[in-house]
């Protein structure tokens, strides 16, 4: 599996809707993990989405449901939303929840939600929830594992426009593309409190 240091950043969005408390929020992070590369057209590699319950304050001990798990495999720029679409660079397989994570053994079907950006959605085939952020009732992290196939070189240069990237010790130029992910977090209160998480990763692709 790709190492954590290959991730170029997780952005956390937290909602502050908790009634009766000034120090509470429902939210978390969704981090795609792709190899830094270089990867070549035709390669298939392992990737994952790591979803973490980071709720705090009065929400720290609550289980959290996760929905709308969305993933844009290749993009020129953006965070939760792709601002420079570059669809068709990668295709992704059905996902599976990693052992010992909150979604262990759950199958996640993949469907297209935006053909113009290549955004797909991971939909679980059975219900699951993240454990509390205080780790008092099971894992607070879900890892969705899947494989990615490189279909073509990116047409949008990510991060550093006009620059070609090289892997350490290798004389290979390539084009960098970003992968994006985001999801909706919700607790079980009535009315429910909602939050959101998003993150990005980057990969160098060569022909």
Q: How confident is residue 156, by pLDDT bands cut at 50, 70 and 90?
A: confident
Burial of 5 (0-12, 13-18, 19+ CB in 10 A): exposed
Rg (CA), the chain: 17
Confidence at residue 169, expressed as pLDDT on a 0 to 100 scale: 42
Q: Following DSSP, what letter does each residue of 112-176 receive, concatenated?
A: EEETTTTEEEEEESS---BPPTTSSSS-SEEEEEEEEEE-S--SS--SSTT-----TT-----EE
Confidence at residue 79, expressed as pLDDT on a 0 to 100 scale: 86
Fold of 6-206: Immunoglobulin-like (2.60.40)
Is the preceding omega at residue 6 within 30 degrees of 0, hence cis? no
Specify which residues 176 forms β-bridges with: 204
pLDDT for 8-63, tens place per residue? 334 444 443 333 344 569 999 999 999 999 999 999 999 999 999 999 998 999 99
Give domain limits for the chain: 6-206
Burial of 204 (0-12, 13-18, 19+ CB in 10 A): buried
Confidence at residue 83, expressed as pLDDT on a 0 to 100 scale: 92
83-114 exposure pattern, b = at least 16 Cβ within 10 A, e = fewer: ebbbbebbebeebbbbeebbbeebebebeeee
Confidence at residue 100, expressed as pLDDT on a 0 to 100 scale: 97
pLDDT for 166-186, tens place per residue? 444 443 468 999 999 999 999
């Amino acid at each position: 599996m790709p190492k954590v240091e290959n991730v170029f950043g997780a952005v956390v969005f937290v909602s502050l809707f908790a009634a009766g408390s000034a120090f509470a929020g429902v939210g978390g992070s969704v981090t795609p993990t792709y190899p830094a590369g270089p990867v070549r057209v035709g390669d298939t590699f392992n990737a994952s989405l790591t979803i973490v319950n980071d709720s705090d304050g009065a929400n720290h001990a609550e289980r959290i449901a996760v929905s709308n798990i969305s993933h844009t495999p290749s993009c020129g720029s953006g965070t939760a939303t792709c601002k420079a679409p570059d669809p068709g660079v990668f295709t992704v397989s059905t996902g599976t929840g990693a052992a010992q994570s909150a979604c262990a053994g759950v199958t996640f079907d993949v469907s297209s939600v935006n053909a113009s950006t290549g955004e797909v959605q991971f939909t679980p085939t059975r219900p699951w929830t993240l454990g509390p952020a205080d780790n008092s009732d099971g894992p607070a992290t879900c890892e969705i594992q899947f494989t990615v196939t490189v279909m073509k070189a990116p047409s949008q240069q990510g991060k550093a426009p006009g620059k070609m990237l090289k892997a350490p010790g290798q004389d290979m130029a390539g084009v960098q593309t970003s992968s994006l992910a985001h999801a909706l977090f919700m607790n079980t209160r009535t009315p429910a409190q909602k939050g959101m998480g998003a993150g990005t990763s980057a990969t160098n692709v060569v022909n």
